[in-house]
C-alpha cells in the first residue's frame, strides 16, 4: 500500500513538472514574423520584425534576436527593438524590429527569431525567407 502511494506521488510530481514546463514554454510566443519588403536587391535595406508576447506581461521579455542564414554563413542580430528606433515603427506595441542591410548575392536568406524572458525561458520562431535578387 505504501509503495503504491509512493508510486502515485512520483507520477503526480512528474506530471506536475511536465505541465509547468509546458506552461512556461507557452508563456513566451513569437508570431507575425515578416520582412519588409519580402524581396530586396543585394545591398538594399529591409526591416525584419516579429510580434513577441508573454503570458505575464510585455515587461517579462528580456531580449529578442534574429539569425539570418545564407548558404554557409550565419549572421546574428542580437537585439531587435520595440522602442520606435532602428526600423521599429511604434514603441511598445509588441512588434520587435530591426533594419538591416542585405549584402549577399542573389538567393534566399532564412531568418529565425529568438526571444528570451527574464526567467531565462527561451523560444524560437519558425523560419521565414527573404528573397535577394
Would you state the pLDDT for residue 61? 96
- pLDDT profile of the chain (133 residues), mean per 10: 48 43 68 97 96 94 97 94 97 97 92 97 97 95
Domains (ranges, CATH) in the chain?
A: 29-132 (2.60.40.10)
- For 4, counting Cβ atoms within 10 Å of its Cβ (0-12 exposed, 13-18 middle, 19+ buried), the class is exposed
pLDDT at residue 26, as a whole number: 63
Amino acid at each position: 500500500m505504501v509503495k503504491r502511494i509512493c508510486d502515485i506521488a512520483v507520477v503526480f510530481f512528474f506530471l506536475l513538472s511536465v505541465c509547468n514546463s509546458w506552461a512556461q514554454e507557452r508563456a513566451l510566443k513569437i508570431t507575425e514574423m515578416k520582412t519588409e519588403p519580402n524581396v530586396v536587391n543585394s545591398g538594399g535595406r529591409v526591416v525584419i520584425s516579429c510580434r513577441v508576447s508573454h503570458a505575464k506581461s510585455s515587461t517579462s521579455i528580456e531580449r529578442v534576436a534574429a539569425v539570418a542564414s545564407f548558404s554557409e554563413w550565419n549572421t546574428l542580430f542580437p537585439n531587435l527593438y520595440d522602442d520606435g528606433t532602428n526600423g521599429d515603427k511604434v514603441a511598445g506595441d509588441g512588434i520587435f524590429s530591426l533594419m538591416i542591410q542585405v549584402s549577399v548575392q542573389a538567393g534566399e536568406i532564412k531568418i529565425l527569431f529568438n526571444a528570451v524572458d527574464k526567467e531565462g525561458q527561451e523560444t524560437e520562431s519558425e523560419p521565414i525567407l527573404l528573397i535577394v535578387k
